[in-house]
Structure 1
Amino acid sequence: MDIKEIMTKLNHRYPFLLVDRIVEREPDKWIKGYKNITFNEPYFNGHFPENPIFPGVLIIESMAQIGGLMFSEKEKGFLVGVDKTKFIHFVRPGDQLVTEATKIKEFGQYAKVEVKGSVDGKVVAKAEVTYYFENVEE
């Protein structure tokens, strides 16, 4: 999925569209995508000017957006929970944050996904993310 297709699936837009490409996907099972971290993004002006670090909350948001695209056939998905979150290494401008997400389970209008972010093959963050989907037939 390139950025044009991603934008048809997610309602997010700059500066909160935090996915650049989906490279592999098996709908409702797993997905792999990435976000390129560039110095010209607005949050680096304050986080932190002399030691720029991609904010942890945006790492989670990027991983959650990619994980949610696993279910792109469903309508109106929302992030409703983040559990077991760990930040292991900093993410900096010039890095490519690669996210791999795997479905743990679906229950009613909810789905729980394990997300793992890495840079250069080294895990930088991981979490379990829960989504709620409107208009899902049970």
Structure 2
Amino acid sequence: MEITYPCGREEIEAVLPHRAPFVWVSRVLACKPGVSVTAELDVPADLPLFSGHFPDYPVLPGVIIMEALAQAASFSLLVERGAEGAIGFLAGIDNAKFRQQVRPGDTVTLEAEIVKSSHRLCVAEVRASVDGRVCATATQKYILANGDAAQSAPEGSQV
């Protein structure tokens, strides 16, 4: 699949298996398949999760920021492998740091650099920022699986 950048939801959904309401990448600005990616997430003020997190002071949960980063990194990996639609299971998050809150109306820049990519295990250094201010950083690990291979993912792994 040939993709030109920047690209939007149509191309993202052609690569990632995620669907609404769990697609956490609004657009991909740049991608060097299997090497790096820069994407963005628009954080709408009317996200239903803000009614509970927190009603008087809405903040995007850190786990959603980590998921958005994992989806951006997986986009780069899946495009490089020609494995559009394969499932990526989050296998680990090391050294996660949350430095800045993400609020309704923010646009989060999602950056990932792939530092290891073998047949099944991939590792990425990830960073989320808003207006140049770093919100979160981590080292993430993923296991990629196709169709029936998803059944063999380690117990406890998450998409």
Shorter-chain TM-score bucket reads over 0.9
Report SS of the residue matched to 2:143.
strand
Tell me how far apart the structure 2 counterparts of residues 104 and 86 of structure 1 sit (CA, whole Å). Answer: 19
Structure 1 position 10, deviation (Å)? 1.4
Query: Which residue matches 1:68?
Result: 74
Equivalent runs, 1:73-92 vs 2, <5 Å: 73-74=82-83, 75-92=86-103
Matched, 1:97 2:108: yes
How big is each residue's C-alpha offset from its partner over 1:55-100, in whole Å with a ceiling of 9 and x where there is no partner? 1110111111011111122333222111110000100011101011
Q: Of 96, 107, 113, which residue of structure 1 is paired with 2:124?
A: 113
After TM superposition, the score normalised by the length of structure 1 is: 0.93
Q: Could you tell me the TM-score, scaled by structure 2's length? A: 0.81
Q: Taking every aligned residue pair, what percent have the same amino acid on both sides? A: 37
1:123 corresponds to: 134
CA contact (8 A) 2:17 2:87 kept: no
Aligned twin of 2:145? 134
Does the residue aligned with 2:50 lie in a helix, a strand or coil? helix
Separation (CA, whole Å) in 2 of partners of 1:15 and 1:44 = 14
Deviations 1:16-74 (A, max 9, x none): 11110000000000000010011111100100011010011101111110111111223
Query: Which segment drifts farther, 76-85 or 111-120?
Result: 76-85
In structure 1, what is the Cα distance between the partners aligned to 2:16 and 2:117?
20
1:28 maps to which of 30, 34, 52 = 34
Query: What residue ranges of structure 2 are gaps of 5+ in the alignment?
Result: 1-6, 150-159
SS at match of 1:113: strand
Match of 1:5 among 11, 17, 25: 11
* Displacement after TM superposition at 1:105 (Å): 1.1
